[in-house]
Amino acid sequence: MRFGKRSDPIVRHRHCDTRPSQHPVVTDTITVEVLHTVEPNALDDAELQPALREIAESRYVVVGRTGGRQSWVDRIRAFLARDPVEAVTLVADEPASEGEEWTVAVEETDVPGVYEVESSL
């Protein structure tokens, strides 16, 4: 672990549902600081990849920074260490406010960096 680097913010808790009639479903719990939210009625105006557009349909698209809200000291330390911001895209049924710290249970999609929100925690 490098100085000032948080532990892996994406995989904190992993639950596997192995019902016989379905493929195993793996759910991760992540915490993000919400950077931007695209409302369902604005999806046509947003420049989304076709695969993301298909997943989103009529739901909210939330872009967030993994690990939650950083302090100013952590931000300066990350800038000086040239530590990149790890962003994820969440597709959710409920909106999230920009600047809010959001902890959610998510399921991975076929699109890298895109997760479907199962529930807010």
C-beta separation of 59 from 90 below 8 A: no
Cα 116 to Cα 68: distance, rounded to the nearest angstrom = 18
Q: Place 4 in a pLDDT band, splitting at 50, 70 and 90.
A: very low
In angstroms and rounded to an integer, the radius of gyration of the C-alpha atoms of the chain is: 15
Please, what is the average pLDDT of the chain? 81
pLDDT 10s digits, 12-69: 445 555 455 455 556 789 999 999 999 999 888 888 898 999 999 889 999 999 887 8
Q: Taking residues 108-120, what's their average pLDDT?
A: 91
The alpha-helical segments, DSSP class H, found in 1-118 are: 50-56, 72-80
Say which residue, 114 or 26, is predicted with more confidence. 114
pTM above 0.75, yes or no: no
